[in-house]
Each structure stands twice: as structure tokens, then as C-alpha cells.
Amino acid sequence: MMEWDVNIDGWIIAAGICSAMACALPGTFLVLRKMSLMGDAISHAVLPGLAIAFLITNSRGVLPMFIGAVIVGILTAVGTQVITRHGKVESGAAMGVVFSILFALGLVLIRQAADHVDLDPQCVLYGNLSQIPLDALDGGVPPAVVNVALALLLNIIFVCALYKELKICAFDPQLATTLGINANVMHYLLMVVVAVTTVASFEAVGSILVIAMLIVPAATARLLSDRMGTTLVLAVIVAGVSAVLGHLLAFRGPGWLGLDPSVAIETAAMIAVVTGVLFLITLVFAPRYGLVGKWYHRARLTLQIVREDMLGILYRWGEHRPGEDIFKEDLLSAVGRGTLARIALGSLQRRKAVESIGSDRVRLSATGRDAATKLVRDHRLWEGYMATHFDIPLDHLHEPAERIEHYLGDDLSEQLQKEMGDLGEDPHGRKIPE
Amino acid sequence: MSPSRSPDHRRFEHDQVHHDDDSPLSIHDMTVAYHRKPVLWDIDYAAPQGKLVGIVGPNGAGKSTLIKACLDLVPRASGSVRIYGKSYKEQRRVVGYVPQRESVDWDFPASALDVVTMGRYGRIPWCIPPRKNDKEAALHALNQVGMGDYAFRQISKLSGGQQQRVFLARALVQDARVYFMDEPFAGVDAATEAAIVTLLRELRERGRTVLVVHHDLQTVPEYFDEVLLLNMRIVAAGPTSSVYTEENLQKTYGGRLTLLTEAAEAIARSG
Amino acid sequence: MRVSARSISTVLMGALLLGIVVAAPAGAFGQSDPSTHRSITDTRFDWPTWSSVVRVATLRDHNTRIVVLGTTLLGLAAGLVGTFAYLRRRALMGDALSHATLPGVAAAFLITGEKNLTYLLLGATVTGVLGVLAVLAIRQSSRIREDAAIGIVLSVFFGAGLALMSIVQSTSTGNAAGLNQFIYGKAASMITSDATMIGIVAFVVVTGTILMFKEFRIVCFDQDFAASMGRSVVLIDLLMMGFVVLTTVIGLQAVGLILIVALLIIPAAAARFWTDDLKAMTMFAGTIGAMSGWIGASFSALLPKMPTGAIIVLTAGILFLFSMVFALRRGILPEAVRRIRLRRRIALQHLLRAMAEIEERTGKPTPIDSAELVNMRSWTQRDLRRLTNRAKGAGLLTRKSWTELELTKLGRTHAQRVLRNHRLWETYLIEHADIAPSHVDRDADEIEHVLSEELIDELERALEAGQDIPPSPHDDTPDTARTMP
């Protein structure tokens, strides 16, 4: 197995982290503005910019490449707009037209230059991370790392300086315009930043990682947070973690899989995979927007509904037959029996809302009675509300109220109270408890 | 007092509900929710045969949703719908539909005739192109709505009113017994409005039932025999003369149903 | 004025892009003298000889025939099915699909250990479909929008593919080299059996599209209506996506997975410029796709160094730009020409109307001083001179002296009709649209020139107008008192 070398792996990871984080920052705004694919388009389209810059200046200098890329980046955004507006082509398709033509052009140009430089089509896709440390002059900082670090710095400054404007534009471009912020200018500015980041990262990590890092960390963060600032920070963290894990897996992965240790996995590709896996994990396990979270929440809600149904039944039983306690089995069968009913009853007993009388009967405790009273009260007030406002036959009142009573929180309950509070009886003539 | 039951119980019971078999449309206890947020609650309604029915209510009251739920275009959370006593699936042939004009892309490469011919697609088997008699029927329907001269015009070059007439013509070639129309009067010129009204009356004379989502409160008594006042629930339904009262309108539009909206929000949040 | 400036700038922009595409390879590299020393940065372009051009164009080589036939059929199929993907706004879904094929190709090779095209394409299909399903699943189950879902699937699947490819490359020796062609495409390596396979799939796609034409059309236009008639939108969508998958997978080898989406989108988008009829659009798209395949493959046969997929896409791109600028129906240039013509016609009608109004005031046909005309509208002397020259050329007026003009008989007929339309419309607006008389003139000005015969008939009916010219509703003319209530 290859030895871990701080000088080599350190620089690779540094380059990976910097470019991943640099991409994640503007990427968050792309995802929020529903323009994710613009990032995809630009990262494809900068290719001819790089190639032309190289062919004209015959060098791989930073400045010409940078200028070429910015021009092409803007050209993509403008071209898409022109085709959408004047050609009446839907914007997604227009983007597809522009970036595929530009990418094809870039490929042809690169192939033309391929014999002479190491700008070959493979590098376009996954860059040259493993070569980075070798470029370092006399143990100094490798130039590629300097480039991506600069890009990261630039993006941090960009986001910090224009945070407010970016936020408003992402939220509501029209509002931004009325506030005196030119949303169009912000749009192009964002495009330029994306193009610059793409170029800076291109050499190190290739286009595939650029697209992945623009979109995936931001989408992951979206699943974890509703707030702009938090989303940004989370996206950057996800990007950084992916970079580290990605390289580790690329480096150690083959060994763990029992493959020949000489097997090399492209670090950039592996980073993209890792970030995808992180996204998937978040999609499933995120507390609020994850699938498991939703399932758990729903299950709890179902349980709560059964519990409240039980309380309601106990209360009404008490109304009908004061002093007589209900059989446990009757209570369970009234809510449909089954495991759910037993769990609900158990949980009510644990909360001391229901107490056992002897071995086979149950009754409401004092706390249980309070909760039940509130439920039944809400239920009957709701029936009253419905009957006042809608033309509903009496026998159709119960079920809607039955459904809604579980969802009326304190606020709504209070409002209901305010509107219908002086109602002494529900439409069926039953007393509304205080 | 009815005993409390679990939600599953309730759903099971609905299958046994008796619908009015003679009614062109009978809805029983229908609830529709988008992402768990109820937009229609417990709708019970039976439309009378051969009448023009206006569906009226404020924005967000669920008017379009009501139509779409009847046509199985949005899933129902509970309840059932019968068209002449049978499910929509069995009765598709007797139902005509006019969606909202804004729901389609009018820049689509098609002529007015192409669009109207689509009304016949339901009765042409898969993989068989429309025949000459389908085109003739479409042309006839276009003439009926006064659009015969525009048959071969690209649909984006038609005015809003003309586009709406094309949609009506498409429903006409469906030759249905019950029509559902989603805001056919929205954004049309006076001439088109008059043409549509004439057409609706013709349909009624031929014994068709037409349910129309309508926005203009002033014209309701003039256009419709029956009215259904809707604001998430049915506020009132029946003959226009008796139901279309100041009081009922006040209930529907008066903004006193905030509790209902908020309860819907609460349910949405809880899920 | 503004409109045309914009269209012209657009045309220029298009021309510029076209210029880049055409000139860049030639211009940037130049054609240096072969005898000079080749430096390391020499990027000379190898021009094909005339005889090789002829050989390729006439399909003399068996190999060229196979490749050209294969890519042409591919372009045809992609154009047809792409039309519907485009109209259904699923164009970029194809991008996610094609990128997601890579892990399948690599995995199939890792598992089978051989470069059997059938297995590779089978693997591609499996992961490609998985990719599409993943996009749908992400969109359905979370708050992530479709655009981001496409981006996620595209980059992550592709990353996984590249990771697998790097394993393939470092484990197997030599025989895995060909796998890379799936990324950028290499039509030159196409053999008879490949072309046959493309032919079969193209046949299936073409037949399927023809058979399903009616269903595809209605789902693309109005899916709710289709569903209300009992057509299963899901099933129709599945079939459509199925054709897209088939086309993508067989196109991988020739065009490559990054650019195959272009072959789905570009011909369809280009075809839309030429026609407003779906059938015609489908045929145009098929033709443009086929042409791109043919021309692109021929070019790449001549320039073996060039990636075939890119050349095919560039060809399609040039056809697209050409369509966008020149297509008669919706192209930018014909549109601009139509606008200029309309503006000219309007200017001419303004002149005629002004003259008719002066004649109306004087009550008889008279020569009119151009100084008087200049005052009637915001014309400059030069505008007026140019306009009168044009009118003279059309035989509408004659020049009595240096400054005096007189309508010819033809001109007078025209002028009076223009004036009548204007007045009809003005009256209509006042009577029916509740517009203040002071604003009417301007509104009438814009509409009257585009009034069709049928609309004028309708106007006449609405106003119960006779054949004479209605009097002007404005205060500044003597006959106002008669018409104003």
C-alpha cells in the first residue's frame, strides 16, 4: 500500500478542500435561485475559453485563462438569454443548446492543441489532482493550490460583501429591484464568480467535480436548514468533508476493497461520489426534511391521534355513565384494537393520564380529565363553528370535527374559543365543557 | 353520539355509501389535500340533471381542485365521486373537460383544428391517427363557436377569447353529457363571452349538464340555474334564486372563515 | 426603432458565434508552411486533401459508409424523439440520463471482464434508467427542485463512473482503453454490427414515434386533458422516456455521453424555427439531426484527429444558428424584415392619410405643399423626402413642383381607404371602449395598420357604417360639432 505523505497528500487535500469550498459558496445561490443547471452549463462552456486563451497566448498563464473563461461564462449566460427571448426557446433547452455547442467547440480546440500540452480531454473531466504536488517548485506551495485558495478567498469576500443583496435576489428578484438592487447585475456577477471559480478549480479537479460541488453540497444543506446563513456554512462544511473523505477513500479504498494496492482511483471522481453519498444520507436521515424524520413524525402523529381518540372516548363514557369505569378491552376495540391501540394506552398510562382500576378496567386521572375536556371542548366548538358557517346536515358534523380536533393547537383553540365561546351547547345539543 | 373510530374505519365505510344514480355528478364526503394541507373538506353535492351550474368562491377556495378531483386528476384523500351512478373511470366517454386557458403553452406547434381534433382522441384507439370524419367533426365544432375561419391558424396567433373558443370547441367534439369548465370566461372579450353563454344555453337545451367555475359575481344569476358557493367547504348549494343571497355571499367571501384556513395550515404543518 | 436595434444586435451576435465556430480552428492555428520547423507549441491544422474530400463525400470507403450511415440514422432518431422531449420540457433530463450511463458501462466491463458491446450498453441502460428514477425520486421526496436534482444525479453518477473507470484502467491492461470513447464518442471505430444495431433502434424509435404521434402530441400539449380522457400520462411518458433512453444508449459510442443530449435538443429547437406544425416540426428535426450526423461524420472522417461527437454537435449547432437567424417562420432575420416592412407600410399610410386629411379640409383634390405635411406629424424634412420618393416610386403621388405633391388616382383611393379605417377605428374606440377622444388618435394609429379585412368588416357592422369616410372626432377639425354628442 502506498505510504501517506504529508507533502503529497496534504497538498492534494488542500487543493480539494479549497476548490470544493470555493464552489459551494456561489453554488448555494445557484440552487436557491433554481439555476443549478446554469452552473452545469458554465462549467462545460468555459472549456473553449480556456482553449482559445491558450491557443492565442501559447501559454498557460493564469490571467489569459481567467479572462477567456470569464468571457465565455458571460457569453453562456447572455447566449442563453438571447436564445430564450428571441428564439422563443424554453430556457432549459436554450441552456442545453448553448453549453453543448460551446463544449463541442472546446473539445475540438483542445484536441487541436492536445499534442502539445497536457490539456487533454481526460483532464477536462477529472483534473489532475495527483499531479499537483509535483508542480511545487522546491517544496513551495504548488501553483494550483494557490489558484484555488485565491478563488476561495475571492468567493468568501464576494459572499460576505454582498450577502444582503445576494440573499434578497435569491429570495425575490422583483423585491430586490424595488429596493434599488439591480437583480440583473447581481445575476451576471454571480455568473462571473461561478465562471472564475470554475476556471480556478478546473485544472485541479476537473469539470465533473466543479458541477458536483456547485450543486450537491448546497442541495444537502437545503435539506438541513431553512436559513440562508446556516445553509451557506453547512454547504461549505459538506464540501470540505467530501474533499477529505473523498481523497481518503480514493487512497485507501482499493486496499479496503481487497484490490491490488496499486489500483488508483481518481480523487476528484471519488470526491463527487462521496458528496453524493452524503446527500443521500441527508435525504434519508435529515431531522426535518429527511425521509426517516418524516416517517417518525407521521408515526408519532398517528399515535397521538389514537391517544386523543381514547381520551375523547373516556370523557364521553364518563358523560354517559358517570361513576362507571370502562373495560380496557372495550376501550381498545373502540379505537380499532391492534398494537397501535395498546401502545397508545400504555403511553397514556405512563403519562399518568389514565389509571388502571383493578385488572380489567381503566379511568381518566385528574390530568387526563383536563386534557380530555379540552379535546371534547374543541371538538364541540368546531361543530358549532361549522354549523354556523356552512350548510351542513347534522349527521355530517361529527367526522370533520373528529379529524380537526387533533390539529387545533393552543392558538387556534383560543381563537375558536373567542369566536364561539358563548356557545353553551354543540349543534347536537350536548353541553360544551368549560 | 357516534362512537369514535380510527381513520381506517372511516375510509372503509365510504365504499358503501349510496349515491344518487340519476345525478350527472354526485360527490360524497370528498376531502382533497395537497401535501397534507386540506384544500377541500367534506364535500357533499349532487348536481341536478340538465342545468347550468356555477361554481363560485374566492381565490384559493378550491374551485379548480373540485373539478380536477371529480375527473381523477388530483387524488382524493377520502370520499367518492359518481357520474350517473358510476365511477369516472367507467363514464369518461360522457364527460367533457375545458381546462383553464393558462394551463397550456399556447406557443405549442399546433393549429386550432389540431387542438379541437384532440377532443376526439378519447374515442380513437391507441396508435391510430385521427381520420377524416374526426377532422370534420372538429371543423364543425369550430364553426359552432364561430371560429371556422381560423381553423388552420397557429394557436399562438389567436386572441385570448379565440383560444378559449378553441378549447370550448374541443369540449364540444367530445359530445359529452356532463361538462366541466374551468373559468371559461376568464380574460375573454365581450363577444366571446356572449358566444359562450349562447353555447352553454344550447347545451342545456340538448339536456347536457354543465358545471362552470366562474369568477364574475354579477353575472351569476343571469348565466346559471344552480350555484355552488365554495370556500374550502360548500357554504351553500342549490337553485340560484334561493341560494344566491347576500347572506350566503357574505359567508363565502366575507373573510370570516379564517379559522378554517388556519386549521388547514395547522394540519399541513403537523405533517 | 428599439426593437429592430435589438434584433440586429442579436443577428450580429449570432453571426459572431457562427464566425467563432467556423473561423476559430482555421484562424487560431493558421496554416503555416509545412517546411518550417515544428515547435512544441505549433498548433498547425492538417487540412485534408481534395481527393480525400471527394472520397468521403461519395462514400467510396466501406468504413466511411458504415460510419456515415450509423450517425445519420442516429441523428434521425434523436431528432424525432428529441422533438417530443423538447416540447415536454424534458430536454435536460436527457443530460442526467446520458451522464448516468457511465457507471453502467464501467461496471459492466468490471463484471464481465470483456469489451462486449451488448453488455456495456446493457449496463449503460440500467444505470441510465436508475439516474432518471433518482431524479424523479429526489424531486418527489424532498424539497429539492428538479434542476438541482438533475445536477446532483448528473455529477454524482458521472463521478461514480469515472471512479470505476480509473479502477478499470489501473487493473486491466490495455484492452480497457476503448471504454473512454463512451465519454467523448468515436464514430470511426463503428463496425457493421454497430451500424446495424443503430439501424434497428432507429427503426423502432421512428415507428414508435409515428404510431404514438397522437398520444405524444396530446400529452405534450395538455396532459390534464389527456388524463381526463383516460390516457395514461405515466405510460405515455414512460414510452417517450424509453425512446430517449434507447437513442441515448446507442448514441454513446458515436457521439459520447456528454454531447449526446445536444443531438436530442438542438435539432428539435432548430426545427421549431421553421414551422408551426408538429408533424412538420418532427420531420424537420429528424432531417436536421440526420444532416448533422452525416456532415459531422464526413468531417470527422476527413479529420481523424477530431472527436466525432463534437464535430456532429458543432454541425448541429451551425444548423441551429442558421435556423434561428434565417428560418422563414420564426427566424430572427425574417422577423426583423417583416417588422421593417410593416414600419414602412405604416409610414406610407401616415403620409397618405395626412394628404387625405388635407384634401378633406380643402374639399377638393389639390397639390399639397410639403411644408404643410411636415407640420402634420413629427417628421423631419429628410424622412418626408424619403417617404415621398418611395410613394412616388409606387405611383401613389406625383411631384408638381419642388415642394408641391399631388396624389394620383391610385394614391387617392388608397389614402381614402386608410383614412376611413382610421376614422372607423377611432369611432369604435370612443363608442365601445370608453376611451377619451384625446387618446383615440394614438391608439387608432397603432391598430389601424394591422386591421385585417375581416376585422374591418366587423367594425363596419358594429358601427353600422356606410361606405363614406366618417368625420373626425377631434376638436381641431371643423366638423367636430356634428359628431360629438
Alpha-carbon gap: C463 to the closest alpha carbon of chain A (Å): 38
CATH code assigned at A375: 1.10.60
How does pLDDT run across B32-73, given as a tens digit for each residue? 988 777 889 889 899 999 999 999 998 888 999 999 999 999
Same domain, A140 and A49: yes
Considering only alpha carbons, which residue of chain B is nearest residue A398? B2
Same domain, A172 and A272: yes
Looking at the complex, does the CB of residue C29 fall below 8 Å from at least one CB of chain B? Answer: no
CB A166 within 8 A of CB A191: no
Which residues of chain A neighbour B5 with C-beta distances below 8 Å?
A: 334-336
Asked if A215 and C152 come within 8 Å (Cβ–Cβ), the reply is yes
Output the DSSP codes for C131-196.
Answer: HHHHHHHHHHHSS--HHHHHHHHHHHHHHHHHHHHHHHHHHS-STTGGGGHHHH--GGG--HHHHH
Same domain, C270 and C315: yes
Considering only alpha carbons, which residue of chain A is nearest residue B232? A390
Which residues of chain B neighbour A336 with C-beta distances below 8 Å?
A: 5-6, 8-9
Same domain, A301 and A247: no
Same domain, C316 and C346: no
Asked whether residue C159 is assigned to any structural domain, the reply reads yes
pLDDT at residue A4, as a whole number: 64
Nearest to C276 among B126, B149, B154 (CB): B154
Same domain, A194 and A243: yes
More confident residue, A64 or B115: B115
How does pLDDT run across C407-462, given as a tens digit for each residue? 888 888 888 888 888 888 777 777 766 555 555 565 556 666 666 666 777 777 77
Same domain, C122 and C157: yes
Same domain, A47 and A134: yes
Of C268, C310, C289, nearest to C183 by C-alpha is C310
> How many B-C residue pairs are in contact by the CB < 8 A criterion?
78
Nearest to C10 among A82, A259, A291 (CB): A82
Nearest to B2 among A391, A398, A400 (CB): A398
Number of domains in chain B: 1
Laid out side by side, the sheet with B233-239 consists of: B95-98, B178-182, B209-214, B52-56, B226-231, B233-239
Alpha-carbon gap: B96 to the closest alpha carbon of chain C (Å): 8
pLDDT at residue C30, as a whole number: 36
Nearest to C228 among B73, B114, B130 (CB): B73
pLDDT at residue C435, as a whole number: 56
Asked if A219 and C266 come within 8 Å (Cβ–Cβ), the reply is no
Considering only alpha carbons, which residue of chain C is nearest residue A92? C92
The three grid cell numbers given for residue C484, joined into one nine-digit string? 360629438
How many degrees, rounded to 5, is the angle at CA A207 between CA A201 and CA A211? 95
Number of domains in chain C: 2
Asked if A336 and B251 come within 8 Å (Cβ–Cβ), the reply is no
Alpha-carbon gap: B167 to the closest alpha carbon of chain A (Å): 23
Out of A55-64, C19-28, C77-86, the most confident range is C77-86
pLDDT at residue C38, as a whole number: 41
In sequence order, what are the residues at sequence separation of 6 or more whose Cβ sits closer than 8 angstroms to the Cβ of residue A370?
none
CATH code assigned at A344: 1.10.10
Q: Which residue has the cell 467530501?
A: A242
Considering only alpha carbons, which residue of chain B is nearest residue C214? B129
- Overall average pLDDT of the C383-387 stretch: 85
The three grid cell numbers given for residue A251, joined into one nine-digit string? 487512497
Asked whether residue A32 is assigned to any structural domain, the reply reads yes
Asked whether residue B150 is assigned to any structural domain, the reply reads yes
Expressed as residue numbers, the domain containing A32 is 6-286
Alpha-carbon gap: A198 to the closest alpha carbon of chain B (Å): 35
> How many A-B residue pairs are in contact by the CB < 8 A criterion?
77
- Overall average pLDDT of the C79-105 stretch: 93
> CB neighbours (10 Å) of residue C50?
8
pLDDT at residue A3, as a whole number: 61
pLDDT of residue B4 exceeding 50: no
Nearest to C158 among A58, A109, A208 (CB): A208
How does pLDDT run across A333-375, given as a tens digit for each residue? 888 778 888 888 888 989 888 888 888 888 888 888 888 988 8
> CB neighbours (10 Å) of residue A386?
21
The B-side interface with A (CB below 8 A) comprises: 1-10, 29, 41-42, 44, 107, 233-237, 251, 256-257, 259-260, 262-263, 266-267, 270-271
Range of lowest pLDDT (A399-403, B86-90, C230-234): A399-403
Query: Which of helix, strand or coil describes residue A375?
Result: helix
- Overall average pLDDT of the A116-143 stretch: 68
- Overall average pLDDT of the A232-238 stretch: 96
Same domain, A394 and A326: no
Range of lowest pLDDT (A43-47, A320-324, B257-261, C163-167): B257-261
Asked whether residue C160 is assigned to any structural domain, the reply reads yes
B157 membership: H or E segment, kind and range: none
Asked if B89 and C230 come within 8 Å (Cβ–Cβ), the reply is yes
Same domain, C326 and C363: no
Final residue of a structural domain among A347, A364, A381: A364
- Helix, strand, coil fractions of chain C, as percent rounded to 5: 75, 0, 25
Considering only alpha carbons, which residue of chain A is nearest residue B234? A390
Final residue of a structural domain among C330, C358, C375: C330
How does pLDDT run across C303-353, given as a tens digit for each residue? 877 888 899 999 999 999 999 999 988 899 998 998 898 888 888 888 888
Query: Which of helix, strand or coil describes residue B245?
Result: coil
Neighbours of chain C (3+ CB pairs under 8 A): A, B
> CB neighbours (10 Å) of residue C61?
14
Output the DSSP codes for A224-282.
Answer: H-SSHHHHHHHHHHHHHHHHHHHHHHHHHHHHHTT--TT----HHHHHHHHHHHHHHHH
Which residues of chain C neighbour A289 with C-beta distances below 8 Å?
A: 142-143
Same domain, A358 and A376: no
Q: What is the dihedral of CA A201, A207, A212, A214, to 10 degrees?
A: 50
CATH code assigned at C402: 1.10.10.10
Same domain, C306 and C374: no
Nearest to A216 among C155, C170, C266 (CB): C155
Asked if C43 and A34 come within 8 Å (Cβ–Cβ), the reply is no
pLDDT of residue A120 exceeding 80: no
What's A433's DSSP letter? P
Alpha-carbon gap: C154 to the closest alpha carbon of chain A (Å): 8
pLDDT at residue C44, as a whole number: 57
Asked if A216 and C158 come within 8 Å (Cβ–Cβ), the reply is no
Same domain, A342 and A394: no
Nearest to B109 among C214, C224, C278 (CB): C278
Nearest to B92 among C217, C224, C229 (CB): C229
pLDDT of residue A275 exceeding 90: yes
Of A107, A117, A116, A278, nearest to A207 by C-alpha is A107
Asked whether residue B2 is assigned to any structural domain, the reply reads no
Final residue of a structural domain among C330, C363, C397: C330
Asked whether residue A258 is assigned to any structural domain, the reply reads yes
Final residue of a structural domain among C294, C309, C330: C330
Asked whether residue C256 is assigned to any structural domain, the reply reads yes
How does pLDDT run across B92-105, given as a tens digit for each residue? 889 999 999 999 99
pLDDT of residue C364 exceeding 80: no
More confident residue, C51 or B167: B167
Asked whether residue A426 is assigned to any structural domain, the reply reads no
Which residues of chain A neighbour C159 with C-beta distances below 8 Å?
A: 208-209, 212, 268-273, 276
Neighbours of chain A (3+ CB pairs under 8 A): B, C
Same domain, A264 and A144: yes
CATH code assigned at B64: 3.40.50.300
CB B37 within 8 A of CB B18: no
Asked if B271 and A297 come within 8 Å (Cβ–Cβ), the reply is yes
A43 membership: H or E segment, kind and range: helix A36-57
Expressed as residue numbers, the domain containing B137 is 17-270
Give the residues across from B37 on adjacent strands: B34
Same domain, C320 and C459: no
- Overall average pLDDT of the A68-88 stretch: 87
Distance between CA atoms of residues C220 and C210, nearest Å: 15
Could you tell me the pLDDT band of residue B137, with boundaries at 50, 70 and 90? very high
> How many A-C residue pairs are in contact by the CB < 8 A criterion?
238
Considering only alpha carbons, which residue of chain A is nearest residue B262? A412
- Overall average pLDDT of the B173-194 stretch: 90
Same domain, A251 and A384: no
Asked whether residue C264 is assigned to any structural domain, the reply reads yes
Asked if C148 and A218 come within 8 Å (Cβ–Cβ), the reply is yes
Range of lowest pLDDT (A13-22, A58-67, C301-310): A58-67
Same domain, A147 and A277: yes
CATH code assigned at C215: 1.10.3470.10
Asked if C276 and B124 come within 8 Å (Cβ–Cβ), the reply is no
Looking at the complex, does the CB of residue C204 fall below 8 Å from at least one CB of chain B? Answer: no
Which residues of chain C neighbour B95 with C-beta distances below 8 Å?
A: 228
Which residues of chain C neighbour A122 with C-beta distances below 8 Å?
A: 180
Expressed as residue numbers, the domain containing C152 is 46-330
Asked whether residue C40 is assigned to any structural domain, the reply reads no
The mean predicted confidence, pLDDT, of chain C is 81
Q: How many CA atoms lie within 13 A of C52 on its CB side?
A: 11
pLDDT at residue C14, as a whole number: 46
Same domain, A235 and A313: no
Which residues of chain A neighbour C29 with C-beta distances below 8 Å?
A: 55, 112
Considering only alpha carbons, which residue of chain A is nearest residue B257? A389
Asked whether residue A248 is assigned to any structural domain, the reply reads yes
Asked if C24 and A92 come within 8 Å (Cβ–Cβ), the reply is no
Asked if C183 and A101 come within 8 Å (Cβ–Cβ), the reply is no
Number of domains in chain A: 3
Of A125, A119, A144, A422, nearest to A269 by C-alpha is A125
